[in-house]
Amino acid sequence: MAINGISMGTKSLTFFLALVTFTYLLSRSSSVEAHDIIVGDDSGWTLNGFNYTAWAHSQKFAVGDNLVFKYDSALHD
């Protein structure tokens, strides 16, 4: 049955496509945020044998993330 020249099927399809598009955009929004990641976590950048390879493997990096190197300026120049 047509209401104002637009069938209920067309309205339902339009609503469904809008809902799918909104859901897709909402799911993608969390993946576009950049994060500041402190290298070495709480230990920071140290000389005391921290295993940075193991640390890197435990992290999830994304394009746009920033690596922050916190260090003791008395030990590094």
- Full pLDDT tens readout for the chain, 77 residues: 555 667 878 888 888 889 898 888 877 765 567 899 999 888 888 877 888 899 999 999 988 999 999 888 887 76
Spatial separation of the C-alpha atoms in residues 30 and 25, rounded to whole Å = 9
Decide: 35 and 62 in contact? Cβ < 8 Å.
yes
Give the per-residue pLDDT at 15: 87
Q: What angle do CA 42, 37, 53 make, to 5 degrees?
A: 75
State the virtual CA torsion across 26, 31, 32, 36 in degrees, nearest 10. 140
